[in-house]
Chains A and B, each alone.
Chain A
């Protein structure tokens, strides 16, 4: 759907539509009212969600204040909760996913937008977008039964080549930050590909032609001219993917190891915000724990909100630039 954003922006001609609607604005109030109510209810529902999160996290907010975000103990016996291990796990797994997905996704997008013949490009994009439709729980299923054993068997090789880094120390159980990062990477690659491809396609043809005419190779024109031109939009697509991976729940909780700790090693198990909510929310036998989990939900909401907003601004500015030329 993020893709629709761009094509909408490209296809719409706001001036004409506005003049048109002004001309007809005196029309039926009933119809106007109905669609207005539908639109208003969207605003209402979203605000309501924010309000409920805020209201139901009151107990936790009063108890822990801002130190909630920096506390690292998770102690259900003494009812003392800190969010840091979960924030850490969420950010590390997402960052790891991006690290793996970006070169891959952008590379594939360049191929699809710039190099492949349109027919092949369309067919491949079609398939890649299907990948985005695979439900998260299925990624989790494959994560448990395919990826984790695979990582286990790759462990000696990783230790041999990258073992000197602090990120690959300590015992490895399979379920880990690394496994979660891997699953997330596979899940967000299709987003990066399909949005980056759109942004690249929006780069005006004269940019490429100019470079080629000056004797640049195909790759040079792509890498030095087209990609920088679309740079902001590509970064935007990456942020959208990031927002998606931060909130990802099922696949992560199935492979992350569910241990609230902060460890440098990617071999270590961790915990993410979404995973702890999924695991503990129905449990929440104490009022404080429930309130804490809802506050975690709010933190997650705020994180995704910021990143989403940033991404959209980036994508919109690039596609405007594309349109203007």
Chain B
């Protein structure tokens, strides 16, 4: 009996090995675009047989692992900074390219029993809450932006990321732009010293914790809030309007930068100009090494980027609440692909 069990076990293992024919590419990074990447890689595998294994481990890990060369490409919601780029250059002997894939929004999500409508948040309210200065839900800074809404006097439970994360980078980048106090005390990075709050791992973890905890507030990529039917707030933009996060309002934020996109695609679009711009918007990037030794992998990755920039794939992104890339950016990227060697 033991022997038959062993045989079954071994044959199961062999079936696992039998799938070895197709190419497997490993990638890791941002959890922010994970839903669309999983969808893309699944579609791409059906179409071409190329399997791209993407693990959503966080942008910090994406940068770290691509620098170590333990994955074939990385992904991040924050562009690599000068120090990280230099380290990559030193370790690998060549540079790293950033390719924007889609754009997304970071939303302020909350679990406030009895409140069903979307609350309005001013930049001062969000930074105040995360600095620990605003501790009650009925604080005047929140109340005055929400006339007519009866907000309970409960304590605010602040939730943030515990791991290095591009979502955190975008969020803190935004807070640094709108609040000088935040800039000097905390700063912007993939992980920071939080003045207050509970840590949870990844977008998944933050959404999960907010969902489980009454009176809590957190920040997640838009799709995590919509997928989970969680409430998220409208945020007051530079022009003074309260804007709901959506692919349209994110596109509006990106519109201005599309014309002046730098050669390396590293651009921040938080707190953008324009009446309909959602202020906590960002591009998200694939981090592709300049040199890919394995020709098969190189071709597959280049082909994937071309496929991903195509309108069908971009339309898929729209269906998952991401904003598709502006046309000029797509054109620019198609040119930049030639840099991959």
User: Considering the chains assembled together, what is the distance between the CA atoms of A173 and B162 in angstroms?
Assistant: 16
User: Considering the chains assembled together, what is the distance between the CA atoms of A149 and B209 in angstroms?
Assistant: 12
Assess the B209–A175 pair: CB atoms within 8 A: yes
Assess the A173–B164 pair: CB atoms within 8 A: no
Which of B172-216 touch A at CB < 8 Å?
186-187, 189-194, 197-201, 209, 212-213, 216
How would residues 50 to 66 of chain B score, 1 for a CB under 8 Å from any chain A CB and 0 otherwise? 00000001101101110
Q: Is B314 an interface position by the 8 A CB rule?
A: no
A285 proximity list for chain B (CB < 8 A): 60-61, 63-64, 67, 84, 164, 190
Q: A282-B61, A283-B58, A283-B60 known; A173 and B216 CB under 8 Å?
A: yes
CB distance from B86 to the nearest CB of A (A): 12
Q: Is A163 an interface position by the 8 A CB rule?
A: no
Assess the A259–B197 pair: CB atoms within 8 A: yes
Q: A77-B186, A171-B155, A171-B157 known; A280 and B163 CB under 8 Å?
A: yes
Which of B63-113 touch A at CB < 8 Å?
63-65, 67, 84, 87
User: Considering the chains assembled together, what is the distance between the CA atoms of A55 and B187 in angstroms?
Assistant: 32
Q: A73-B193, A75-B193, A174-B212 known; A269 and B64 CB under 8 Å?
A: no
Chain A, residue nearest B188 (CB): A77
User: Considering the chains assembled together, what is the distance between the CA atoms of A260 and B194 in angstroms?
Assistant: 9
B198 proximity list for chain A (CB < 8 A): 173, 175, 257-259, 269
CB distance from B211 to the nearest CB of A (A): 12
User: Considering the chains assembled together, what is the distance between the CA atoms of A174 and B209 in angstroms?
Assistant: 10
Q: A76-B193, A257-B198, A259-B197 known; A282 and B64 CB under 8 Å?
A: yes
Q: How many residues of A contact B (CB 8 A)?
A: 26
B61 proximity list for chain A (CB < 8 A): 282-285
Chain A, residue nearest B28 (CB): A282
Q: A258-B198, A285-B61 known; A279 and B163 CB under 8 Å?
A: yes
CB distance from A320 to the nearest CB of B (A): 38
B213 proximity list for chain A (CB < 8 A): 173-174
CB distance from A44 to the nearest CB of B (A): 26
A-B contact count (CB 8 A): 80
Which of A66-103 touch B at CB < 8 Å?
73-77
Select B164's contact among A76, A258, A269, beta carbons within 8 Å.
A76
Q: Is A266 an interface position by the 8 A CB rule?
A: no
Assess the B199–A258 pair: CB atoms within 8 A: yes
Chain A, residue nearest B60 (CB): A283
User: Considering the chains assembled together, what is the distance between the CA atoms of A73 and B193 in angstroms?
Assistant: 8
Assess the A77–B189 pair: CB atoms within 8 A: yes
Q: Is A193 an interface position by the 8 A CB rule?
A: no
User: Considering the chains assembled together, what is the distance between the CA atoms of A74 and B198 in angstroms?
Assistant: 14
B58 proximity list for chain A (CB < 8 A): 282-283
CB distance from A176 to the nearest CB of B (A): 9
B190 proximity list for chain A (CB < 8 A): 76, 285
B67 proximity list for chain A (CB < 8 A): 285
Chain A, residue nearest B64 (CB): A285
Chain A, residue nearest B192 (CB): A77
Select B199's contact among A76, A171, A269, A284, beta carbons within 8 Å.
A269
Assess the B186–A258 pair: CB atoms within 8 A: no
Select A259's contact among B84, B87, B187, B199, beta carbons within 8 Å.
B199
Q: Is A203 an interface position by the 8 A CB rule?
A: no
CB distance from A143 to the nearest CB of B (A): 12
Q: Is A148 an interface position by the 8 A CB rule?
A: yes
Which of A277-292 touch B at CB < 8 Å?
279-280, 282-285, 287, 290
Q: A73-B193, A74-B193, A171-B155 known; A282 and B57 CB under 8 Å?
A: yes
For B87, B191, B197, the residue with the greatest tally of chain A CB atoms inside 10 Å of its CB is B191
User: Considering the chains assembled together, what is the distance between the CA atoms of A173 and B216 in angstroms?
Assistant: 9
CB distance from B192 to the nearest CB of A (A): 5
CB distance from B32 to the nearest CB of A (A): 15
Chain A, residue nearest B83 (CB): A286
A290 proximity list for chain B (CB < 8 A): 64
Q: A77-B186, A171-B155, A282-B64 known; A258 and B201 CB under 8 Å?
A: yes
A148 proximity list for chain B (CB < 8 A): 212
CB distance from A200 to the nearest CB of B (A): 35
A175 proximity list for chain B (CB < 8 A): 198, 209
List 28 A-B residue pairs with CB atoms under 8 Å apart, sorted by A's residue number.
A73-B193, A75-B193, A76-B164, A76-B190, A76-B193, A149-B212, A171-B157, A173-B157, A173-B209, A173-B213, A175-B198, A258-B198, A258-B201, A259-B194, A259-B197, A259-B199, A269-B198, A269-B199, A279-B163, A279-B201, A280-B162, A282-B57, A282-B58, A283-B57, A283-B58, A283-B164, A285-B60, A285-B84
Sorted nearest first, the 5 A-B pairs with minimum C-beta distance are: A258-B199, A258-B162, A285-B64, A283-B164, A283-B60
Given A76-B193, A175-B198, A260-B199, 12 more A-B residue pairs with CB atoms under 8 Å apart are A73-B193, A76-B191, A77-B186, A77-B192, A149-B212, A173-B213, A173-B216, A258-B198, A279-B163, A280-B191, A283-B61, A285-B63
